[in-house]
């Protein structure tokens, strides 16, 4: 099967008539090497199609050149965008990423973190999740860590996130400005801090506008489409009238849209609809969805770059990311 024996640093040393050390030096460029020798080494490496053994290197150097990414739910467009950004940010560096999926379950996340650390990753990027801050802080003692999509008190200077509270406030404000007074909210899983922040921003905006928060207009979903559909059903069951719905993410907005359609309710003429996350296909909904854009790719890229900095023991300055209200056609001014 593997006819050609693994060629090692030794082989190329012989071929280039130098010592292993010299070869190692041109490999790591940790010390100067005479130009002619370096050339000979390079030539030999090329001719023999040499590939350093990453394990030997890792064992000897203590570095894995791998950064571990703990994510949740590969399927989510939002998280995918972040992952894409991370890959992009790592591009060109000598680091690779290895992913594990926490599936939004704290125990699984711990397990995933464990395997990552067990794989001697040089750093960890945590994307979202439920793990308590203390757990992550502990991880942070073992390896450089960057958290994206969450704000963790214990790791304040290592988090990349957006202000969900403010964004939700702005959405609600926008709906109010359009003349809506009875605005329903489909919240995300409320054990998740983002969901809470979005709901709170919504409530606060209402209060600031002098409108009492009506609990009957708030339904908790789970960030998935189906829960958006169910939430609208729930709203009708409760019988509280509403002229607008603010869903805590686009997926739930999609579900809500279908529920409205089933009841013959038109969007935006009868009910306005706003989502959150600006996932790609939201622009292609019928009608195109007004939503909040989170610069997911950029956040992922920033996370990767920050990690690279940390690994070089350089100080990191995390950029600030802003959300943006993307106005499309699912909201219309109330007469």
Give the tokens for residue 236. 């009708």
Binding mask 71-110 for its own copies (x = CB under 8 A): ---xx-x--xx-xx--x--------xxxxxx---------
When asked if residue 327 is in the footprint of its own copies (CB under 8 A), the reply is: no
CB of 56 to its own copies, least distance (A): 5
CB 101, min distance to its own copies, A: 5
How many angstroms separate the Cα of 125 from the Cα of each of 91, 131, 193, 307, 330?
15, 13, 19, 8, 36
Cβ distance to its own copies smaller for residue 131 or 251 = 251
Q: How far is the CB of 27 from its own copies (least distance, A)?
A: 12
53 part of the interface to DNA, by CB under 7 A:
yes
x/- mask, DNA, residues 177-216, rule CB under 7 A, reads ----------------------------------------
d(C-alpha 216, C-alpha 204), whole Å: 16
- For the bound state, the minimum distance from the C-beta of residue 111 to its own copies, rounded and expressed in Å, comes to 10
**Binding to DNA by residue 33, rule CB under 7 A?**
yes
Interface mask toward its own copies for 268-307; x: CB under 8 A: ------------xx-xxxxxx-------------------
Q: Which of residues 4-63 bind its own copies (CB under 8 A)?
A: 51-56, 58-59
Residues 6+ apart with CB under 8 A from 304: 67, 85, 86, 87, 88, 89, 90, 97, 125
Answer yes or no: are the C-beta atoms of 50 and 44 closer than 8 Å.
Answer: yes
CA distances from 150 to 158, 161, 183, 193 (A): 10, 6, 27, 8
CA–CA gap between residue 69 and residue 86 (Å, rounded): 9
Neighbours of 275 (CB within 10 A): 30
42 part of the interface to DNA, by CB under 7 A? no
Rg (CA), the chain: 26
Positions 202 through 261 that interact with its own copies (CB under 8 A): 225-226, 228-229, 251, 254-255, 257-258, 261
Distance, in Å, from the CA atom of 335 to the CA atom of 329, rounded to the nearest integer, reads 16
Contact between 252 and 231 under an 8 Å Cβ cutoff? The reply is yes
The option from its own copies, DNA, none interacting with 227 (CB < 5 to 8 A, set by class) reads: none
Nearest Cα to Cα of residue 289 among 299, 300, 279, 297: 279
Applying CB under 7 A, among 59, 134, 156, 216 the residue interacting with DNA is 59
Q: Give me the least distance between CB of 36 and DNA, in Å please.
A: 7
Closest CA to 271 of 233, 237, 244: 244
The residues of the shown chain that bind its own copies, judged by CB under 8 A, are 1-2, 51-56, 58-59, 64, 66, 74-75, 77, 80-81, 83-84, 87, 96-101, 115, 117-120, 141-142, 225-226, 228-229, 251, 254-255, 257-258, 261, 280-281, 283-288
């Amino acid at each position: 099967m593997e006819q050609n024996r693994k060629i090692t640093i030794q082989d190329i040393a012989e071929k280039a008539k130098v010592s292993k050390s010299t070869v190692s030096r041109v490999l790591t460029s940790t010390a100067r090497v005479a130009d002619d020798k370096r050339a000979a080494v390079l030539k030999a490496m090329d001719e023999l199609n040499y590939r350093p053994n990453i394990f030997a290197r890792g064992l000897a150097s203590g570095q894995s050149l791998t950064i571990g990414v703990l994510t949740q739910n590969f399927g989510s467009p939002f998280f995918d965008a972040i992952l894409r950004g991370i890959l992009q940010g790592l591009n060109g560096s000598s680091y690779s990423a290895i992913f594990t999926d926490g599936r939004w379950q704290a125990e699984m996340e711990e397990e995933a973190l464990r395997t990552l650390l067990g794989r001697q990753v040089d750093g960890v990027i945590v994307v979202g999740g439920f793990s308590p801050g203390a757990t992550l802080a502990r991880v942070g003692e073992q390896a450089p860590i960057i958290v994206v999509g969450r704000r963790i008190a214990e790791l304040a200077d290592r988090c990349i996130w957006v202000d969900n509270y403010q964004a939700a406030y702005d959405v609600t404000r926008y709906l109010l400005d359009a003349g809506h007074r009875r605005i329903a909210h489909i919240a995300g899983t409320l054990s998740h801090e983002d969901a809470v922040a979005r709901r709170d921003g919504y409530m606060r905006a209402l209060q600031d506008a002098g409108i009492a928060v009506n609990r009957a207009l708030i339904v908790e979903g789970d960030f998935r489409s189906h829960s958006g559909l169910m939430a609208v059903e729930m709203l009708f069951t409760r019988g509280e009238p509403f002229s607008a719905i603010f869903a805590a993410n686009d997926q739930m907005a999609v579900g809500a849209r279908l529920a409205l359609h089933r009841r013959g309710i038109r969007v935006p003429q009868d009910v306005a609809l706003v989502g959150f996350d600006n996932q790609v296909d939201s622009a292609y909904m019928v009608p195109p969805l007004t939503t909040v854009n989170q610069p997911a790719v950029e956040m992922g890229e920033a996370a990767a770059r920050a990690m690279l900095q940390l690994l070089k023991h350089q100080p990191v300055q995390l950029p600030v990311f802003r959300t943006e209200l993307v106005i499309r056609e699912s909201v219309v001014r109330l007469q």
